[in-house]
């Protein structure tokens, strides 16, 4: 998980298997989540999952993503490998069904 608090991306959220970017919406803190980023030899930028989450909801959102991964992964498979195999949809469906 990589987290940045501003668009300058000091926390490199773009390349996190799970990336989180803090954004300001009308004076309130929200968090945009990206999935599938990778900084290794198979470099990739993460995809934005959907609408940003309020500060009170982001921890639950990450827990949902991890639970989804644990249910879908093959033995020894990293998050990003599972994501590449199954795509965004299963994660997005679980994430927005519960939040």
- Express each pLDDT in 32-70 by its tens digit: 999 999 999 989 999 999 999 999 999 999 999 999 999
- Express each pLDDT in 44-53 by its tens digit: 999 999 999 9
CA dist., res. 11 & res. 78, Å (int): 20
The top-scoring range by mean pLDDT among 3-7, 12-16, 72-76, 94-98 is 72-76
Q: Which comes out higher in pLDDT, residue 9 or 91? A: 91
CA dist., res. 60 & res. 40, Å (int): 28
> Which residues are CB-contacts of 33 (< 8 A; sequence separation ≥ 6)?
18, 19, 20, 48, 49, 52, 53, 58, 61, 62, 65, 95
pLDDT at 5: 86
CATH code of the region 2-98? 3.30.413.10
């Amino acid at each position: 998980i990589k987290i940045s608090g501003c668009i300058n991306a000091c926390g490199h959220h773009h390349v996190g298997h799970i990336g989180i970017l803090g954004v300001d919406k009308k004076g309130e803190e929200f968090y945009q989540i990206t999935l599938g980023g990778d900084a290794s030899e198979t470099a990739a930028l993460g995809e934005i999952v959907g609408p940003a989450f309020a500060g009170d909801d982001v921890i639950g959102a990450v827990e949902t993503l991890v639970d989804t991964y644990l249910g879908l992964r093959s033995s020894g498979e990293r998050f990003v490998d599972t994501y590449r195999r199954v795509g965004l949809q299963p994660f997005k469906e679980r994430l927005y069904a519960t939040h």
